[in-house]
Structure 1
Amino acid sequence: MKLQTSIPLFKQTNNLINYESNILLLGSCFVENIGEKLAYFKFNNKVNPFGILFHPKAIEKLIEKSLSLAYYSENEVFFHNEQWHCFDVHSKLSNPSKDNLLEHLNDSINSSCHQLKKATHIVITLGTAWVYSFLENNNTVANCHKIEQKYFDKKLLSVNAIVASLQNIIKLITTVNKKASVIFTVSPIRHVKDGFIENTQSKAHLISAIHEVIKAQLLTENNQLYYFPSYEIMMDELRDYRFYAEDMIHPSQTAINYIWEAFKYVWISEKAVKTMENVDAIQKGLQHKPFNPNSEAHKKFLQKLESKKQALSKSFPHMSF
Structure 2
Amino acid sequence: MDFRTEIEVAPARFKISTDSKIMTVGSCFSEVIGSQLTDNKLQCLCNPYGTVFNPASIFKLISHSLQNQPIFKHLMLENNGIWQHYDFHSKFYAHSKEELEKELNLTHRNVNQFLRKANFLVITLGTSIVYQLKENSQIVSNCHKTPASHFKKELLNVKDIIMKFRPMYETLKMQNNKIKILLTVSPVRHTRETLQLNSVSKSILRTACYHLEQDFSDVHYFPSYEIMMDDLRDYRFYKADMIHPNEQAEQYIFEKFANTYFTEDLNIFLKEWNKVKMSLNHRPIQVDTPAHQRFLNDLLEKLTILSNKIDVTSEIELVRSQLVAA
Alignment CA distance shift 1:313-1:127 (3 Å): same
Q: Distance in 2 between matches of 1:169 and 1:186?
A: 18
Instruction: Deviation per CA, 1:254-310: give whole Å up to 9, x if none.
Output: 110110110010001110111112221222222111110111111222222222222
Cα offset for 1:97?
Answer: 4.0
Aligned-pair identity (%): 36
Question: Residue 130 of structure 2 aligns to a residue in which SS?
Answer: strand
Match of 2:23 in 1: 24
Instruction: Deviation per CA, 1:49-92: give whole Å up to 9, x if none.
Output: 11111011111111111111112365442211442100001001
How many residues are matched? 315
1:190–1:249 contact (8 Å) kept in structure 2:
yes
2:299 to 298, 305, 310: 305
**Mapping of residues 65-84 of structure 1, within 5 Å:** 65-72=64-71, 74-84=73-83
Match of 2:252 in 1: 258
Alignment CA distance shift 1:116-1:300 (3 Å): same
Q: Distance in 1 between matches of 2:199 and 2:239?
A: 20
Match of 1:173 in 2: 172
Q: Partner letter of residue 66 of structure 1? A: S
The answer as to 2:282 corresponding to 1:283 is no
Cα offset for 1:226?
Answer: 0.3
Alignment CA distance shift 1:71-1:18 (3 Å): same
The answer as to 2:229 corresponding to 1:230 is no
Alignment CA distance shift 1:312-1:224 (3 Å): same
1:167–1:213 contact (8 Å) kept in structure 2:
no
RMSD (CA atoms): 1.6
Alignment CA distance shift 1:42-1:22 (3 Å): same
Q: Distance in 2 between matches of 1:74 and 1:122?
A: 27
**Mapping of residues 157-236 of structure 1, within 5 Å:** 157-217=156-216, 223-236=217-230
Cα offset for 1:10?
Answer: 3.2
2:63–2:172 contact (8 Å) kept in structure 1:
no
Match of 2:268 in 1: 274
1:312–1:319 contact (8 Å) kept in structure 2:
no
Alignment CA distance shift 1:99-1:289 (3 Å): farther
Match of 1:106 in 2: 105
Which moves more between the two structures, 193-202 or 100-109?
A: 100-109
Match of 1:10 in 2: 10
Q: Distance in 2 between matches of 1:124 and 1:216?
A: 17
Question: Residue 89 of structure 1 aligns to a residue in which SS?
Answer: coil
Q: Partner letter of residue 22 of structure 1? A: K
Q: Normalized against structure 2, the TM-score is what?
A: 0.92
1:26–1:124 contact (8 Å) kept in structure 2:
yes
Question: Residue 154 of structure 1 aligns to a residue in which SS?
Answer: strand
Cα offset for 1:248?
Answer: 0.2
Question: Residue 207 of structure 1 aligns to a residue in which SS?
Answer: helix
Instruction: Deviation per CA, 1:94-150: give whole Å up to 9, x if none.
Output: 233434322221111111111211111110000000000111222110000111111
1:166–1:210 contact (8 Å) kept in structure 2:
no
1:58–1:142 contact (8 Å) kept in structure 2:
yes
1:27–1:52 contact (8 Å) kept in structure 2:
yes
Q: Where do 5+ consecutive residues of structure 1 fail to align?
A: 218-222
Q: Partner letter of residue 105 of structure 1? A: L
